[in-house]
Structure 1
């Protein structure tokens, strides 16, 4: 007998209520009263051939506030009103089951969470006549509510350790401070139009929503064929032609309801991958790191944040068995976001980042180095000597020839950096790097990637005022910067992902010219422009073209 069901609990004192059953509809809409401040959704019974349950909390205009997904391996979701701060009035919980043999109904069934009365008719949630009356009453409250959100919205997901009132002097070194500038420009908070599948705000903005509801993105009904626009995600190569996209935040500062994708570079195609892997998937987040260990063929996801929640958990995705596991690690590491993570000899080197202090307000940056040993499942802090970087977040770290880690940029409000440090992995000694050539201006949330044995690239980022579009290459042999001009990378963006992959389309040509050589391609995904747009495009540039641009510069 199939006892499968989807249940919900509304409020801390509410009893479980059955929303979907084995013989019923595959869709349901629940009107959640304003008095309910917590919602828990869970499944019970065998899943059988059922794939997943999609859940959305929508406002009275049927715009998504937050989303989630139940799977056979992740059987519970919860929301809290003070966590999802746009949840300010009555909301609708829409639940849809995919897979199995449930009956498809034309309209979702309406169920009231508080059973004070039972509706006589089965109608769509909050019919138009009800919404019209609500809108009239809500119109007078709209501007006051927007003012509240503009000043009270949690800011750790836009500027991890800053406030609107602070200013940002930028400086080249630790002791040289230049003129100040406003951290968030007034022009950055504006109404947004429609972009390429991505309407919203980029990381540094402090507004929770615009005054115009036209900027909202309609609820996604058709299956996505590529990731939605986002920033703060990770894109992690796992083999010569495959990369995994994890996490991110997009329009209306909502965490992406399509948090995991698989990219095949043979034809540059995307595949939704959230339901491919077994085990407990990581909770939605931004500012985390994901790094692949080619020896064990595992992806390690660490840290990040979600609204006012901070993480110091370690999730591992085995790319052979496609199974998630969460590690119960020994040792102490603080919750961190916007840190850097590098792999060296099978261990994770986590440097810097922002942490909640006092919890959950983000006002502290770290200058500590933590190492995670996967074999022992333990965190420890090594003894490090030399001149280490000052506390910072949003910086980059590149491992060169498995001997040195180069750390660039980042910020610790109100200071933005463009200094360079090097960690000698043999001596465990930091040293400031004296560079030559035109250096990038101070920035954080930039993209960075190694493009040769002695060179790495810096692109874009946020300078405390605007998103950047410039590109620089650093040569570790000469400690010199070279700025290169690339039309492909002319779009300002911050919080994006940059990786390098093999380019099969050019392999034959490369092997004809240089037998045994394989051409590589730079891939740039996502990010935002600080003007209201989030990107979902995938830009490619030949690494050979990048290296050739150095000689032309």
Structure 2
């Protein structure tokens, strides 16, 4: 039987080189040759008791450029230099094996990559040109006047913390590599206060500690004898999805955290009986979705399946559909007919077993994706086909980062969103029976313009809007809309006082034990609003989980 091994290919013409074997070291680092612009990492042979292989591309200062993970169900990773703008000369590939019964537990092994130089190929981009580009970008980001003009570019969110502009790393969001979101930097006193307040409030299950350079280096220099305890909750992140599947369970998928790195722990299971987390990436079989942000995940209670659609990763944009069967715990990929563009930061609503995808950012003709959509696409899982319905009325203008709430299993209420340089606070309603859009005229104090906010239906007549990003700052306010009176009401929620955007909000049935004792009875179920994650655009990414009884929210109106 073939033995287990982990191999790397450096460059398009390089030969596979074995990094890990069944009787070798658990940790290996290898310097990427300066001329190499592509790296492929893959495993071969039976995994046995092995759990995963953590992989990092680190820069010369040992700071991660990009992160990935091999598992028994995801056995190949690839990186390209033009997808990672911080990839310059001096990059090191580090891999570490978790699990299994290896015969050696020695310190990290340092290897040398065999460089292959093909004939008649174009010269690689010079290191000084890359470094110069990086310095020019950071210099531009540090210029307050240029930051102020960032909002004039399509789908660009300027960084509001000028003192942290030098630490901004670019991320592929609604404008590809041009968007500056939640810049990582030293903590400000304001950010510290927000995080501290979030951690002290009732119903909060944790917060994300500051990710300092010293902490990163300490983690990377740990020897095999200093094994870290497995994480007990997801890392801080934004742009993820949280999808309830029953009264006891919700599934967290994807996200991006500190240093604009995609999360190494992309999938978690939330157990609502005690509000605990279980790492779930290795629980499901089949091809797991590639790391991403700005995607959607919707659960169909009839088929017991989660549908994951779209999203982006650096300069990659997705229009794929992944399905997680929650009965068999197996992933599958749909080979759909019909056409749907790659989309991110769209909305996706379930109605009569079909997915209604509205708006979002889509890639215009290469090289830069920078446009917003105003189209409605429907995916029929039974026929595995995409189609565009005929809709009438006044439809929303192109936008991304908006919210969509299904009310009374008949109406979709669309609020807010972003299409640079405009941030919206208008509202539209789609009548799913008539397939007709209409503008919703509201009364009361409406939420200010925003995108990347959270939204959830509280009842058959009310839904909630919380937080978001207004083009300058993350927000912390909360509003409830009543469709019967078409009125807004602002709520004051001390438990949700930390500014955040790109977070997840769901309202789901949960066991009665999480509610006031007088409301509890054996086997009782209550609705609870759950808020997870997000970022404050000051360099902080949250991992806290806040629970608020829906009855408490409705009684405060």
TM range (shorter): 0.7 to 0.9
**Distance in 2 of aligned mates of 1:103 and 1:191:** 47
**Distance in 1 of aligned mates of 2:251 and 2:58:** 29
Distance of aligned partners of 1:215 and 1:531 in 2 relative to their CA distance in 1, 3 Å threshold: farther
Choose which of 366, 369, 372 in structure 2 pairs with 1:365. 372
User: Match for residue 165 of structure 1?
Assistant: 149
Cα RMSD after superposing both structures: 3.1
Choose which of 285, 301, 312 in structure 2 pairs with 1:278. 285
Q: Are the aligned partners of 2:26 and 2:106 in contact in 1 as well (CA < 8 Å)? A: no
Q: TM-score, normalised by structure 1?
A: 0.84
**Distance in 2 of aligned mates of 1:147 and 1:115:** 28
**Distance in 1 of aligned mates of 2:499 and 2:373:** 28
Q: Are the aligned partners of 2:5 and 2:21 in contact in 1 as well (CA < 8 Å)? A: yes
1:481 matched to 2:465? The reply is: no
Distance of aligned partners of 1:250 and 1:469 in 2 relative to their CA distance in 1, 3 Å threshold: same
User: Match for residue 21 of structure 2?
Assistant: 21
What is the deviation of 1:25? 2.1
**Distance in 1 of aligned mates of 2:290 and 2:434:** 37
Choose which of 315, 323, 335 in structure 2 pairs with 1:308. 315
**Distance in 2 of aligned mates of 1:79 and 1:516:** 49
**Distance in 2 of aligned mates of 1:312 and 1:163:** 31
Choose which of 454, 460, 476 in structure 2 pairs with 1:447. 454
**Distance in 1 of aligned mates of 2:51 and 2:525:** 40
**Distance in 2 of aligned mates of 1:267 and 1:185:** 37
User: Match for residue 79 of structure 2?
Assistant: 79
Deviations 1:274-319 (A, max 9, x none): 1111111111100000011111111100000001100000000111
User: Match for residue 205 of structure 1?
Assistant: 180
User: Match for residue 380 of structure 1?
Assistant: 387
Choose which of 151, 158, 173 in structure 2 pairs with 1:184. 158
Structure 1, unpaired ranges of 5+:
117-137, 154-161, 170-181, 194-198
**Distance in 2 of aligned mates of 1:66 and 1:507:** 41
Secondary structure of 1:409's counterpart equals: strand
**Distance in 2 of aligned mates of 1:258 and 1:15:** 30
What is the deviation of 1:151? 7.0
Q: Are the aligned partners of 1:200 and 1:534 in contact in 2 as well (CA < 8 Å)? A: no
**Distance in 2 of aligned mates of 1:110 and 1:412:** 48
Q: Are the aligned partners of 1:150 and 1:207 in contact in 2 as well (CA < 8 Å)? A: no
In the TM superposition, 1:106-121 aligns within 5 A as 106-114=106-114
Secondary structure of 1:405's counterpart equals: strand
Q: Are the aligned partners of 1:396 and 1:410 in contact in 2 as well (CA < 8 Å)? A: yes
User: Match for residue 34 of structure 2?
Assistant: 34
Choose which of 418, 433, 436 in structure 2 pairs with 1:426. 433
**Distance in 1 of aligned mates of 2:275 and 2:70:** 29
Q: Are the aligned partners of 1:143 and 1:211 in contact in 2 as well (CA < 8 Å)? A: no
**Distance in 1 of aligned mates of 2:359 and 2:172:** 22
- Select between 467-476 and 141-150 the one with higher mean Cα deviation: 141-150
User: Match for residue 326 of structure 1?
Assistant: 333
**Distance in 1 of aligned mates of 2:355 and 2:440:** 23
**Distance in 2 of aligned mates of 1:429 and 1:151:** 48
Secondary structure of 2:136's counterpart equals: helix
Secondary structure of 2:82's counterpart equals: coil
The total of aligned residue pairs comes to 502
Q: Are the aligned partners of 1:71 and 1:275 in contact in 2 as well (CA < 8 Å)? A: yes
In the TM superposition, 1:54-453 aligns within 5 A as 54-114=54-114, 146-150=134-138, 165-167=149-151, 184=158, 187-188=161-162, 190=164, 205=180, 215=213, 218=216, 219=219, 222=228, 223-453=230-460
**Distance in 2 of aligned mates of 1:208 and 1:289:** 23
Q: Are the aligned partners of 1:8 and 1:16 in contact in 2 as well (CA < 8 Å)? A: yes
Secondary structure of 1:417's counterpart equals: strand
Secondary structure of 1:165's counterpart equals: helix
- Select between 50-59 and 319-328 the one with higher mean Cα deviation: 50-59
User: Match for residue 178 of structure 1?
Assistant: none
Q: Are the aligned partners of 1:202 and 1:530 in contact in 2 as well (CA < 8 Å)? A: no
**Distance in 2 of aligned mates of 1:202 and 1:306:** 6
Deviations 1:193-226 (A, max 9, x none): 9xxxxx9999863698769995575147622211
User: Match for residue 505 of structure 1?
Assistant: 513
Secondary structure of 2:556's counterpart equals: helix
Q: Are the aligned partners of 1:468 and 1:494 in contact in 2 as well (CA < 8 Å)? A: yes
Secondary structure of 1:544's counterpart equals: helix
1:496 matched to 2:470? The reply is: no
Distance of aligned partners of 1:290 and 1:510 in 2 relative to their CA distance in 1, 3 Å threshold: farther
Q: Are the aligned partners of 1:201 and 1:251 in contact in 2 as well (CA < 8 Å)? A: no
Distance of aligned partners of 1:529 and 1:209 in 2 relative to their CA distance in 1, 3 Å threshold: closer
Q: Are the aligned partners of 2:380 and 2:386 in contact in 1 as well (CA < 8 Å)? A: yes
